[in-house]
A and B are shown apart, each in its own frame.
Chain A
């Protein structure tokens, strides 16, 4: 295998493994931009993974051979998104309306969400009496590139640009839309204002509660899609909770690495995708695998330190991150 082939394969693997992070991270960025630190991402991704699989599986079973791949993908997306919205709605209700502590609520959501995900996954397995599998035709809809074969066959460019599964492209579109929304629209500006200084935003007539609910619920839904993408692509449409576990926490870490900018999660998720698999693709003799695996976390901690030491204003976390807003408090 030539060096070029190796690099192409490495980049492809990085993108493939980074896609769930792309969703997990950008969803959490939206949430944090409005001032809510949702540590429930891990749980949300579990729920998304399990319900996405359940949706596609139920649809495949009901339709038999006449099942349509595109419909299955849409159903999986909708199920995962809905599960994530539901989970983060609980979080939003507790932290925004009932003003519960965000850290603790997020952790409780993670405990519940991983439980729900695993429970649904195991129940499916018990019902079927073995591994949950969907038909090959449907599997291909999740795995294959949406582009025509001719484009994928172009050397180097084909596999690197046109050769990924549909979720890569959907994710890129979603992140660009989110970037545009946050950076260029009035509503996006309001949302950021709510995350920086809710009392100022409130005085300016912005409905703090509404924006926080919106960001948290939609963000949670997007994060949950990441879990579905993991189950349906990386783990091959099989429920695999050991593989999925930790994915949500990496996504939370990646938010910091991306400096709370959705556009950075485009390359950040690919980089972390690479870091997650580099120990397989590019083993270094004197670094043990397990130490190699923690590199993403070390990098994130270093970024966190750098950001706080340099104190550049545009790199800081949203100022009101993690705090509830109580209008009567002032």
Chain B
């Protein structure tokens, strides 16, 4: 009979000590770096000096650090936006589109209300970004809550539609030099002021981090999201208005994405590009997930990915290694950290002991 018992049996576990959990995660990060070293060795570069030059390129100089922080802003902001949705098990992968629409709305006011005082204009731009971002996120949520339309795929489609709209505006009505397909830079009253060398968006996202943490942990809304994520039936039996919660949470998520869009156009880019989101909507999904939906952990992970991408761009000039190595390294780190969760959540029982008993 014991031949039929599986080689390895799994049980869920929930009580692994915090220290051990983070040891496993750190271990998987090191594991990913080791695979990265193999890749460097295969293409004939010295692995250690390659990593050295990534760190050096990203953190060695003040401008590098500033760029790292600047690039981490949209990643962190979007990851925060997605957290409540993911908690609810609503797969909003439309961050890219919601950022873009937020950016479009903000740009509209930057273009058409050039003569307003800076504070008023920036506020209006931010509000416009928030509103359009949340509308963009609300559309799939309405269909999800009414007819159960698959939100993963719907929000994905909304990304492309948003990017198409932005591309049309940039190359059409808002085009700068005819035929250039790019917009002129905003007037200075539509640019976010800098604090310590980086646009003040970093303060906004840090405040947001705390707000999202409080929202998810200590408010009624956060509780409802939590229950709904665990079981839709439980939420319904408890008398919660499920469609309303879905729509509200999605709209909130889109609102923060829209705000991020505003910060990108007004803070780092100073104008609207059609790829304003630049993949942040997608990368943020992994940031959010790797942080286990913990807002404070997101800060660390967003910074880490940002260091990696900034550092790898210097790798190209320093060692002649294409900058796309970033994506490979990022991907490997993500995949390996996703995989390690298994060893945290499950306990393996091997057959060996059972065989001994039978013998």
A residues sitting closer than 8 Å to B (CB atoms) are: 37, 39, 43, 90, 93-94, 97-101, 103-105, 107-116, 118-119, 122-123, 126, 246, 249, 252-253, 256, 288-291, 293-294, 297-298, 300-301, 304-305, 308-309, 317, 322, 326, 328
**Residues on A with beta carbons closer than 8 Å to the beta carbon of B345:** 99
Once A111-B283, A114-B327, A122-B322 are accepted as A-B contacts, the answer to whether A100 and B341 lie under 8 Å apart by CB is yes
Expressed in whole angstroms, the Cα–Cα distance for A108 and B328 within the complex equals 10
Once A105-B335, A115-B327 are accepted as A-B contacts, the answer to whether A256 and B153 lie under 8 Å apart by CB is yes
7 contacts between A and B (CB under 8 A): A43-B331, A90-B335, A104-B285, A108-B334, A288-B171, A290-B165, A300-B153
**Smallest Cβ-Cβ distance to B162: which chain A residue:** A294
Determine chain A's interface SS by DSSP, over half rule: helix
Contact A297 B338 (CB under 8 A): no
**Residues on B with beta carbons closer than 8 Å to the beta carbon of A101:** 289, 338
Of B128-136, B141-149, B260-268, B350-358, the one with at least 4 CB within 8 A of chain A:
B141-149
Residues of B136-187 contacting chain A, CB below 8 A: 143, 147-150, 152-154, 156-158, 160-161, 163-165, 167-168, 171-172
Expressed in whole angstroms, the Cα–Cα distance for A100 and B336 within the complex equals 10
**Smallest Cβ-Cβ distance to A301: which chain B residue:** B157
Is B330 part of the binding interface, using a Cβ–Cβ cutoff of 8 Å?
yes
Q: Work out how many contacts link A and B, with CB atoms closer than 8 A.
A: 154
**Smallest Cβ-Cβ distance to B334: which chain A residue:** A108
Is B325 part of the binding interface, using a Cβ–Cβ cutoff of 8 Å?
yes
Is B119 part of the binding interface, using a Cβ–Cβ cutoff of 8 Å?
no
Name the one of A111, A298, A326 contacting B327, with C-beta atoms under 8 angstroms.
A111
Contact A122 B324 (CB under 8 A): yes
Contact A108 B335 (CB under 8 A): yes
Contact A105 B153 (CB under 8 A): no
**Smallest Cβ-Cβ distance to B91: which chain A residue:** A103
Once A301-B154, A304-B150, A308-B143 are accepted as A-B contacts, the answer to whether A94 and B324 lie under 8 Å apart by CB is no
**Residues on B with beta carbons closer than 8 Å to the beta carbon of A256:** 150, 153
Is B11 part of the binding interface, using a Cβ–Cβ cutoff of 8 Å?
yes
**What is the CB-to-nearest-CB distance from A5 to chain B, in angstroms, rounded to a whole number?**
31
**Residues on A with beta carbons closer than 8 Å to the beta carbon of B324:** 114-115, 118-119, 122
**Residues on B with beta carbons closer than 8 Å to the beta carbon of A98:** 338-339, 341-342
**Residues on B with beta carbons closer than 8 Å to the beta carbon of A294:** 160-161, 163-165
**What is the CB-to-nearest-CB distance from A126 to chain B, in angstroms, rounded to a whole number?**
7
Name the one of A37, A100, A110, A305 contacting B339, with C-beta atoms under 8 angstroms.
A100
Contact A111 B330 (CB under 8 A): yes
Name the one of B165, B285, B330, B342 contacting A115, with C-beta atoms under 8 angstroms.
B330
Is B326 part of the binding interface, using a Cβ–Cβ cutoff of 8 Å?
yes
Contact B335 A298 (CB under 8 A): no
> Scoring B residues 51 to 95 as 1 if CB is less than 8 Å from chain A, else 0, what string do you get?
000000000000000000000000000000000000000010100
Once A112-B328, A309-B147 are accepted as A-B contacts, the answer to whether A103 and B11 lie under 8 Å apart by CB is no
Contact A123 B282 (CB under 8 A): no
Expressed in whole angstroms, the Cα–Cα distance for A298 and B161 within the complex equals 7
Once A94-B339, A115-B326 are accepted as A-B contacts, the answer to whether A109 and B160 lie under 8 Å apart by CB is no
Expressed in whole angstroms, the Cα–Cα distance for A126 and B320 within the complex equals 9
Expressed in whole angstroms, the Cα–Cα distance for A126 and B319 within the complex equals 12
Contact A103 B327 (CB under 8 A): no
**Residues on A with beta carbons closer than 8 Å to the beta carbon of B9:** 328
Expressed in whole angstroms, the Cα–Cα distance for A118 and B324 within the complex equals 6
Expressed in whole angstroms, the Cα–Cα distance for A291 and B274 within the complex equals 12
Expressed in whole angstroms, the Cα–Cα distance for A253 and B149 within the complex equals 14
**Smallest Cβ-Cβ distance to A241: which chain B residue:** B324
**Residues on A with beta carbons closer than 8 Å to the beta carbon of B322:** 118-119, 122-123, 126
**What is the CB-to-nearest-CB distance from A28 to chain B, in angstroms, rounded to a whole number?**
12
Nearest 7 Cβ contacts at the A-B interface: A112-B331, A115-B327, A294-B164, A290-B168, A98-B342, A108-B334, A122-B322
Expressed in whole angstroms, the Cα–Cα distance for A56 and B172 within the complex equals 41
Contact A104 B286 (CB under 8 A): yes
Is B332 part of the binding interface, using a Cβ–Cβ cutoff of 8 Å?
yes
